[in-house]
Structure 1
Amino acid sequence: MALAEILSMVLRLAELAFAAIVAGLNGDYLHAARGASAWDLGRHIYTEIVAGLAIIFAILWLFPFSSSFIHWPADLLISIMWFVAFGLLVDWIGGRGCGYIFDWDGFSFRDTASCAQFKATIAFTFLSAICWLVSALLGLYWVRRHTRRSTTAVTPGTYPRRRWYRSRV
């Protein structure tokens, strides 16, 4: 299972990098939009919170002693949070005059808070969601595989009988 551990570490590094990129690009937009109401910036604040949580958990779960794969439900939850952030950002950019969301012609980083910056934020949000989902699936696979190995020693329906007077300890 060394391949699974290596893949998990690569995914954690990608999750960390993508979350840092989203936090930086989105934080730059939030800084430029200071003074606006929190209601108008709600989806960006949510995305920043998800990016911060993803950075914290990716760093914590990157350490070798925590590579037990048992935290796959949290990976799945963070993946769902990233997909929600992706949907919110795609819905927001639709009315901004930036063209089709997946049209990457004329992509440049010349000015701040540009359409290119928003599209890059959306792209890295999606990539992070996919990485967290793959981590969750890898963890689920690993856990299911290792629990099957421990239960295959006893065939179904042929459990050893215990006498009523023997201790179960």
Structure 2
Amino acid sequence: MILSRLVSMFLRFGEFVSAAVVLGVTSYFLYEQHHHDYDGPKAREIYTIIIAALSLVSSLVLLIPFTFTFLHYPWDLILSMAWFASFGLLVDFVDDNLTCSGPFHWGGLANGSYCSKWKADEAFAFISACFWLVSFLLGAYVFHRRTAEGNRRGTFRRTYV
């Protein structure tokens, strides 16, 4: 049980960091678009900001190492799916609209260009989705293992009142 709590705290911290990075980079893009009257993928960015903000708050609340944090594993799956959708939207925009050498070409990203920032946003969205997916798997495992242990001990008996 101690190991699962430590792994959970590591995953929650990773979720927090990933969400903070995506929130910062995507907010920068929205600021630049507003400041320079540039029409960009605002709907995709607003969706990503909403998911990042929800993830930021959720990861902070669920970072507290109590057993009840494992009971919220369906929320982890929902956020994982939302992050994968965000990643797909970001990749789709790069593939269709930017000249960044393709969505999965990672060479020359150290120059601080628009493409390198966009790809960093993509990467951290994918990393966050993976963290949330592993949190879901861990939470489901711990929850169902504890339920099975409780059934063996007789602490979760059905009552026919």
* TM-score when normalising by structure 1: 0.85
CA displacement 1:73-122 (0-9 Å, x = unmatched): 001101111011001111011121111211111112434xx100101100
Give the conservation status (yes or no) of the 8 Å contact 2:21–2:124. yes
Q: Show the counterpart of 1:53.
A: 54
Classify the secondary structure of the residue corresponding to 1:102.
Answer: coil
Asked if residue 149 in structure 1 is aligned to residue 142 in structure 2, the reply is: no
The reply to whether residue 90 of structure 1 matches residue 91 of structure 2 is yes
Instruction: Specify the alignment match of 1:74 in structure 2.
Output: 75
Aligned length: 156
Displacement of 1:65 in angstroms is: 3.9
**What is the match of residue 134 of structure 2?**
134
CA contact (8 A) 1:94 1:101 kept: yes
Counterpart of 1:70 in 2: which secondary structure?
A: helix
User: Which of residues 107, 113, 116 in structure 2 aligns to 1:105?
Assistant: 107
1:124 alignment counterpart? 124
Residues in 2 aligned to 1:50 and 1:134: alpha-carbon distance in whole angstroms: 17
- The answer to which structure has the higher helix fraction is 2
Instruction: Give unpaired runs (5+ residues) of structure 1.
Output: none
The residue type paired with residue 131 of structure 1 is: F
| Counterpart position of 1:11 | 11
Larger radius of gyration: 1
CA distance in 2: counterparts of 1:19 and 1:66, whole angstroms:
23
RMSD over aligned CA atoms reads 2.3
Q: Equivalents in 2 of 1:17, 1:126: separation in Å?
A: 13
Instruction: Measure the CA separation in 1 of the matches of 2:27 and 2:88.
Output: 18
Question: 1:150: how far off?
Answer: 1.3
Q: Unaligned 5+ residue runs, structure 2?
A: none
1:79–1:133 contact (8 Å) kept in structure 2: yes
